[in-house]
Structures are given as structure tokens and as C-alpha cells.
Amino acid sequence: MKLVGKAIPHESAPLHVTGQALYTDDLLPRYPNALHAWPVQAPHAHARVLRMETEPALAVPGVVRVLTARDVPGLNDSGLKGDEPLFPEEVMYFGQAVAWVLAESEEAARLGAERVEVAYEPLPAILSVEEAIRQGSFQGATLEVRRGDVEAGLRASARVLEGRLELGGQEHFYLETQASIALLDESGQVFVHSSTQHPSETQEIVAQVLGLPRNRVTVQCIRMGGGFGGKEVQANPYAAVAALGAYLTGRPVRVRLNRLQDIVLTGKRHPFYARYKVGFSEDGLLNALHIELFSDGGWSQDLSEPVMARALCHVDNAYYIPNLRAVGRVCKTHKTSQTAFRGFGGPQGMVFIEEILDRVARSLGLPPEVVRERNFYRREGSRNITPYGQEVKDVERIQLIWEELKRSALFEERRLEVAEFNQKNPHRKRGIAITPVKFGISFNFTAYNQAGALVLVYQDGSVQVNHGGTEMGQGLHTKIQQIAAEALGVPLDAIRVMPTRTDKVPNTSATAASTGADLNGAAVKLACEKIKVRLAGVAAQRFGVNPADVVFENGQVWSLWKPEERLSFAEVVRAAYAQRVQLFADGFYRTPGLHWDKARMWGKPFHYFAFGAAVSEVEVDGFTGQYTLRRVDILHDVGDSLSPLVDLGQVEGGFIQGLGWLTLEDLRWDEKGQVATRSASTYKLPSFSELPEVFNVWLLPRATEPGVVYGSKAVGEPPLMLAISVREALKDAVAAFGGGGIVELASPATPEAVYWAIEKVRQRALVTGD
């Protein structure tokens, strides 16, 4: 029975729904003598620390110690670029922790933090991208993707448009906030439980802060209650604080941010600003595009530069642009350090090109879907090469998905129905849009595209699987379980996927960039295949056949020549043990064929592209800007799905998270630089009420991806960009209030933003008489 490709529930689903699934902070009862940490937070967006008095905190009952820069035995930095002091002398964003109080209880730690006396010298703060651009406040390199002659292309174009667009950020709002518990063993080695997407980097940072070799630090992640990129690097400082506290006191130390602290202290999706000039023909074919991208990186570099690089590599989306110059800069502001978020810059780049194509179409009086299709790769002269030099393999899938989705979603019929509805209803309008997705899969830092695994087979036939990927609810462990069971030919219940630990699989990459199953799954499969080859040799002796003729399936082993004579998997394993055959193996995988020149922004950064498309239909109230998402149809390419139930959930969840970013989640900072939307009461998240009335999701059939584990494709990030279709549908509805033309819609497209967009098209219609 084939186990890969079978629709099975998430491996921890019963534990999740019964409350038995353990997360990092749930381990606290195991350490009854643990100390609790609480931050001392600065009340300025930018300031110099002049003086700090910690003695008053020590007078609070239960307070044991106050951690400051003086206590750091190693390097006082929780990053890898030397710009993220764990205990800063210069405050760089509102609420930044300048010290941490350790106490017998969380309440004592909180009261102690209130008693720490800190004197500050306030300094000028940069709180917006526009101000950063004016002051030349940038960090990292200037990145540029270039093809052709943009100036000549603009001069040769029948029409030229200029514009700009600002995209808001997004709070990760994972259900489990940042959490770590650190302790010392009997020999003084450091063990850290951490809610981290990158245990190896967390290990590196803890060792760096403590001044220890990494072999004296072990990091474990049992599971996360969501990550979305927010725990790729930003789990590290909290693990470092816990480890430092444990190292100095000899007692376990717990750091667990409450929701307010988590929102105030941690980075978000990067807000972006773009200004562009585009040249095109009377038929809507793009000829030249000059676009400048600026992101709000916050106070430190974090991952801002690679996020910008991916944005630049996705500003083409599914479209061929003959002459392109895309330039990106990361702005340095006095805000939280913005970081990885599902899509990692790709969504921002793709929103910009979809905005541009919509404006091109509406300026010509053409349907946006027609202009989009005309500009797909495979148009004349495209050669299917991206502006950064990579061939778009399987480019025909863009057109295939587009046509099949238009057919299954009844797009043309519904376009007519929308027009009829709009003609009859002056105060309510509907809009419909279809948008494509072409998303590159791999880390755009080539070295990260590697993974390891350690598979152990015991004499009873049971199997332990260790790999470097982390489980954050996305179903990675479920897929790994299916891969291992398929590769060894055993039932699913014979496989136990272990918590991720740095002492089992070293030097791992982050579980990010949608590569978790691609990298770790391939490593696990290779390790299992090594073991199966050894076992096949043992079984072949028993059956008197060639090892190539031995079959492993569902816990049974037999020969192709005598299938009625069978041994159990456990029997073969015991026989192998008796013959002193190795019953464990490592697996190592590196993605082949990748190369990337960061300075030139040229090469092959991606192993393949994931494709998809979505049709969204909305209805908008002209008096309030309130809208309803009436129907969504999605067709998405996941290759040969490893686990269809998991993949469907990822497509649906990714779409809804993208919907939240583009239409609901209005992240704001006030004039002091403080996050104003710092709770669920002021920051609106998508919920059941935002689900479309009709929600159809199909996975593209017969879509095998050669060279990837069992022909699958990544599914974590690409579906988020499908939600761009909702923003485009809203613009379609808004345009109907004024008889067509270009729509200026802010992002996120909240009801308020939609209302003001409607007012603009109404005023334009009054002026022009349309």
C-alpha cells in the first residue's frame, strides 16, 4: 500500500485537539526550581543609556539576579552581523529590552523590572520609510536586477505610466509566543528548549553569548505553535537570555513573552514602498519597467537583505518583461527589526507587478485578466528566462493552470454576471479577478540548501527518525513519517519522528523558504534507503535470490519469485542484527544545480518554481467600503503531493494569511515609535468570518517534479500570494463605482481604504462626466 501521497491527518492532530501536545513552555512543570525572566524595556524609540541601577530590583522579594551587559562572558550580540546587542547601550526601538530580571515567580520578576532605574538621553528617531530615504538611512547593500535597455524601452513604448505604492507590514501573531527554557546538566553543559525554526543558529547564538564551543550547547525544539518566519532568527535572543541566566545561576531559566511583549519586541513582515515607471504597447504588452523598492528593515539587518533579494527576484511574477531595472534598498529605522515572514519578500514584489499590470489594463480600457495573460512567459521573444538569468522550467504550467482554472471557476460566465449585477445596483458593486503565482523554491543563500538525517532501526522493527526540520504545525513531521514508512516499506505506526535536536543532526538550516520537506525529506529517504539495501542483502540470503528482487511493503518482506513466502520486517531486522549488519544510517542531501552571484543578482537561485492561480469574487458596499468575499477558486501546483490533506490545509491557510495581510491587518506605529496595534483588540486577524462563502481548492494533477523527493513540490509559502486576487477583485469592484479607470487602493485594503478608493473614482467620474 502506497503511503506517500495518502491523505492522512496531521501526526499530532489528536494531541492538538485534546490539549496533550506539548510546547516549550508546557515543559516548565518539569523544572520546579526554575527562575522566570522579565525584560526591562526602554520607553524611547531611540536613546542612549546613561545609567542603570539594578540594586532596587534585588530588594523585591523573590528577585534573584538582574542580567546586564556586564554579565555576558562571551559576545554581547544575539545576531550574526554584529549589530544586535543583547544588552544595548543605545536603544534602537521603543520597548527594547536593556536588562532582564530573574526571579522565583513571573510576578516577582515583573515587579523587579519596574524597580530597575534607567536614565536615558533621548535621541532623534526615524520612524518611516520616507524619512529614512530623505536622510539616506540605509543598511546592507544596494541590490539590482537588470535586463535590456530600460531607457530605450521606455522611449520606444506607445504609452508610459508612473506610479507608487506602499505596502503595510504584518504581525506574525503565532499562537505560541517566543519561549525558551534553559538548564545546565551535571557537567555544566547547556541544554535549551526553544520555540525556534532554526535550532542550529539558536545553538550558535547561545554559544556566542556564553563564549562556549557549540558542542557544549544543545538546542531542542519539540514543536511550535506557529512560526511563519518569526522564529527563524528572532527566537535567538530569548534563548540566549535564558541560557545566560542558567549559566550564571545554575538554575533552569524560563523566558516566555506575553502577547504584548511579543508584539512590541519582535519583528514583522517588511513594509515596502515602490515607485515605478512602466512602458507598454496599445495592446498592453510590457516593454520596459524601472522600479525602485524600499523596505523598512527596522533597527538591525536581520534578514532584510535576502528578503529584498527575493522581492527583486519575484517582481516579474509570471510575466516576461524585456527591459527591466529593479533596484532595492533596505531602510534603517528605529523600529523592531523586521524579519522573515511567509513568502520572504516574494509577496511584496508580486503585489507591485500585479498593481502595475492592473493600471496598464485600466488605462487602456482592457480587462486586467487579458493583459495579464498577454504578458505571461512564453510570449514572443521571452526565451522563458527570468531577469536574473534562470530558465522558467515547466513554463507551460502557467498557461495550463490559468486556462483550467478559468474553466472550472466559470470565470467568463461570472464576469458577465458581475457586469449585469453592477449595472442593476448603483450602491453595491461586485468585482472578480484572476491572478497567477510563480514562486521560486530554495534558499536564495545557496549554502542553506542542505539537510541531514539520522535514522535508527531497533530489533523489534520500530524506527526512530531524526532530521533537522522543525514542526510548527505545517505538517512536516507528517510528511517525514510518510516518506520514511514508504522508503522502508513499513506501516506508519512503525515510524517515530523525534523532536529536533542539534546533538542528533548538526549544522542544519532553518525550516524556512518552503524547503522543509524538500531538504529533510530527501535526507531521510536517503538514510532509509541505505538501511533497506543492507536489509535486502540479509533477506536475499534467506530467500536465495538477488537483493534487487526483495520487496519491502507494509511491514512484510518477500521475494518477487516466491511472494507467498514472507518474513516480517522485524524478523529481517533481527536477522541483520545477528549478522552484525548496521541498523542505523545517516542521510545527507544538497540541492543540485544551484548557483547565485549576489553582487550581480544573477544565476540559478531556485531549484524549481511552484505555480498556481486564484479567482476571487467580492461584493462591496458603496456607502461604507465594507465588502464580502463571495467566492474563491484555487488551482495550485504541489507536484505529486506527499500528503494531500496537509497540502490542502497549507493552500487554504496560506491564502487566508495572505488575505489578512492584504485586506485586514493594519499594522501601525504611533508618533513615539511604539507599536500601536499591539493586541488582538487593535490588530484585526482573519477568522472564520473572513472565509469566502464558496471556497474551492484543487491540487494540479499529473504534476510530478523530477529530482525532488517522491516528485513533490513545496507548498508552505506559494499559496499566500494567491490572495493577491482578492486585492485585484476589490479594485475591480471599486472601478465599477466610477465607470472604470485606474484605481488607487491602499494596502491593506481595509473597508476604510476601499471607501476612500471609491470616493476617488466617484470624484473622477463627476469631473470627466463618465
DSSP string, 369-406: HHHHHHTBTTSTT-TTB-TTS-B-TTTHHHHHHHHHHH
**In 3D, which of 517, 511, 522, 516 has the Cα closest to residue 487?**
522
The active-site residue, picked from 354, 617, 717, 728, is 717
> How far apart, in whole angstroms, are the C-alpha atoms of residue 43 and residue 98?
11
C-alpha cell at 439: 514562486
Q: 556: which residues sit within 8 A by CB, 6+ positions away?
A: 489, 566, 567, 568, 569
Beta carbons of 38 and 109 less than 8 angstroms apart: yes
Instruction: Classify residue 600 by its DSSP letter.
Output: T
- Three-class secondary structure of residue 30 per DSSP: helix
User: Taken in order 91, 25, 227, 245, is the CA torsion positive or negative?
Assistant: positive
**In 3D, which of 145, 390, 310 has the Cα closest to residue 720?**
310
- Three-class secondary structure of residue 636 per DSSP: strand
Buried b (16+ CB within 10 A) or exposed e, 281-316: eeebbbbbbbbbbbbbbbbbbbbbbbbbbbbbbbbb
Q: Which amino acid appears at position 711 of this protein?
A: G
**In 3D, which of 598, 317, 608 has the Cα closest to residue 442?**
608
Q: Which amino acid appears at position 683 of this protein?
A: Y
C-alpha cell at 316: 516579474
Q: Which residue has the cell 526553544?
A: 194
Which residues, in sequence order, are bridge partners of residue 327?
144, 292
Q: Does the bond joining 436 to the residue before it have cis omega, within 30 degrees of 0? A: no
**In 3D, which of 239, 249, 237, 257 has the Cα closest to residue 65?**
249
C-alpha cell at 207: 554559544
> How far apart, in whole angstroms, are the C-alpha atoms of residue 515 and residue 469?
9
> How far apart, in whole angstroms, are the C-alpha atoms of residue 401 and residue 397?
6
User: Taken in order 96, 66, 302, 82, is the CA torsion positive or negative?
Assistant: positive
Give catalytic status of residue 232 as yes or no.
no
Counting runs of H as helices and runs of E as strands, what totals does the chain give?
A: 19, 29
**In 3D, which of 441, 440, 612, 596 has the Cα closest to residue 516?**
441
> How far apart, in whole angstroms, are the C-alpha atoms of residue 459 and residue 51?
63
Contacts 24+ apart (CB under 8 A), 245-249: 245/35, 245/37, 245/65, 245/67, 245/100, 245/102, 245/182, 246/182, 246/183, 246/184, 246/190, 247/73, 247/182, 247/184, 247/190, 247/210, 248/65, 248/67, 248/71, 249/35, 249/64, 249/65, 249/102
Q: Which amino acid appears at position 366 of this protein?
A: L
Residues carrying an active site annotation: 717
